Structure 1
Amino acid sequence: MTKTQKAEIIEVLSTEFKDAQAVIFCDYKGLTVPQLESLRESARAKEVKVQVVKNTLATIALKNAELTGVELKDTNILVWGEDSVSTSKVAADFAKTNSKFVIKSAYVDREASDASKVEAFAKLPGREELLAMLAATWMAPIANFTIGLDALRQKKEAA
């Protein structure tokens, strides 16, 4: 890999990490290519990015994005996205089904954290679930009103 290619990778990752709300570092040693492709497919569906990056390049990009506090060692695959909940869900769900995929550390909401915080974020409801809850809350008064009107109609018909 030439110096210009490395510089391009660092520049792209730096801008992506500046916009990311979560950057998760995972160990992928022992996973097969089809398993990694299934991780990438599930990430793509939630608009999350997954990439294997050299530790030195990733460290430089993280410093450029003003993210400090995590030291990268061994083999790492990076999972990042603009929504910390969906990014955490992608990593945690894949870790549940693949024992060789281990969440090491992360930046969640631009703070260095460990795997337990990622798992806690993964348990939160996602954007779609929250919107559904909100819609149900808004529809409850209308539904109750129509139920009451129907009960009143039935009572008057019976009388």
Structure 2
Amino acid sequence: MNREEKSATIQEIAAQIEASEAIFAVDYRGITVSQAAELRTKLREADTSFRVVKNRLTKLAADKAGEERLADLLQGPTALAFVRGDTAQAAKAISTFTREHAVLTYKGGFMAETALDADSFKAIALLPTRDVLNARFAGVVASPLTGLVRGLGALIGGLALQLGQIADKGLVSGEAAPVAAAEVSAEPEGDKDEGEPDAERAAADPDAPGSEAEDAGGTDVETSDQASNEEE
């Protein structure tokens, strides 16, 4: 590898370091070419690249990227997993691959500002993947919305039923008014005279007993006047 190739490699590794959310370092001794290809395929699903590196060039790249912690992991044969996507899924893929093939030894790593030892790496590998968490979150959000939609549907259905019952009774169609008018017109007209005073009835009826008394009084006056004239 000439100087230009080394410079390009350093630049490329530095860019990968800067773009990574987490970096895992493993000892790759014992892994075959086909196994490495299998691991790369699984890690690609988590948006992670797996790269066997030269320690000296990688130290220069780490210095260039301002990541001094990586230098302590560059001892012996080293491969780096540059995680840009789902950290839990990447850790799970490496952990599962190591268990199935009995290769790869975890050396260390970091995620953002947090250093990850072997126990931390195992704990991350046990976490649900991002897709699983998103599905669970969507389920939690959808449950109240589903209940709200059902509640609104029941409310609207109940309101429609009540309006239908009101319409059947004629309270909103105007059919109840003629019935009330008919009841008023059916009342007997004679009831209106029940409240009139007795004096008015007597004045309106010439045959009433009071009228006969008045006529009798007038006749007596005329008879007495005639008797006085005859005596004179």
TM-score of the pair, normalised by structure 2: 0.59
Deviation at 1:91, TM superposition (A): 2.1
Q: 1:101 aligns with which of 104, 113, 122?
A: 104
CA distance 1:136–1:125, shift in 2 (3 Å): same
Structure 2 residue matching 1:6: 3-state secondary structure = helix
Match of 1:114 in 2: 117
In 2, the alpha carbon distance for the partners of 1:114 and 1:124 equals: 16
Structure 2 contact 73–108 (Cα < 8 Å) conserved: no
CA distance 1:5–1:113, shift in 2 (3 Å): same
- Whose helix fraction is larger, Structure 1's or Structure 2's? 2
Structure 1 contact 92–122 (Cα < 8 Å) conserved: yes
Kindly provide the amino acid, as one letter, of the partner of residue 98 in structure 1: H
**% same residue:** 25
In 1, the alpha carbon distance for the partners of 2:43 and 2:90 equals: 8
Q: Which runs of 5+ in 1 are unaligned?
A: 151-159
In 1, the alpha carbon distance for the partners of 2:61 and 2:43 equals: 21
Structure 1 contact 79–91 (Cα < 8 Å) conserved: no
Q: 1:126 aligns with which of 103, 122, 129?
A: 129
Match of 1:74 in 2: 76
- Whose strand fraction is larger, Structure 1's or Structure 2's? 1
Equivalences for 1:117-156 in 2 at 5 Å?
117-144=120-147, 146=150
CA distance 1:56–1:112, shift in 2 (3 Å): farther
Kindly provide the amino acid, as one letter, of the partner of residue 103 in structure 1: Y
CA distance 1:87–1:63, shift in 2 (3 Å): farther
Deviations 1:94-135 (A, max 9, x none): 222221211111122244332222222222222211110111
Structure 1 contact 22–87 (Cα < 8 Å) conserved: no
Structure label with greater radius of gyration? 2
CA distance 1:31–1:71, shift in 2 (3 Å): closer
Counting matched residue pairs gives 150
Match of 1:2 in 2: 2
